[in-house]
Amino acid sequence: MNGNYFRLYTANNVLSLVYFDTNVLKNRVYRYKYRARNVNGWGDFSAPGYIFAADLPNQPAKPALKSVNKNQMTIECFPPSNTGGSAIIGFELWRDQGAPNSEFI
């Protein structure tokens, strides 16, 4: 898929491993695999993990009223300014039950 694997890191005398891969480009899929060693040598590699380099999108702007009539409102939503490195593929719009005669604060 993405060419040959190469070693990123070797850790000795550790019980857990967290690695910060600082040489990645967003919007790309990378394959990672790892293995463990004991006194008898190296074990087999893990199955490859396919990791998509993207963050969560940031918080979008609040929704806005476009129009209103007798029993219908048109609400406009805006895409977030930062997509996290991946195209936005969906939105959700939620609403509460409303309150009669409420005033905006």
Reduced to 3 states (helix: H, G, I; strand: E, B; else coil), residue 65 is: strand
In a domain, 30, yes or no: yes
The answer to pTM > 0.95 is no
CA–CA separation, 99 vs 46, rounded Å? 55
User: Residue 63's CB: how many other CB atoms inside 10 A?
Assistant: 13
Q: Residue 47: which domain range?
A: 1-53
User: Residue 97's CB: how many other CB atoms inside 10 A?
Assistant: 4
**Beta strand 41-42 pairing with 37-38:** antiparallel
Model pLDDT for residues 37-89, shown as the tens digit of each residue: 888 999 999 999 999 999 999 999 999 999 999 889 999 999 999 999 998 99
Number of domains, the chain: 2
Model pLDDT for residues 7-23, shown as the tens digit of each residue: 888 877 776 678 888 88
Two structure tokens written together for 12: 């000795």
Do 71 and 46 share a domain, yes or no?
A: no
In a domain, 41, yes or no: yes
CA–CA separation, 48 vs 19, rounded Å? 16
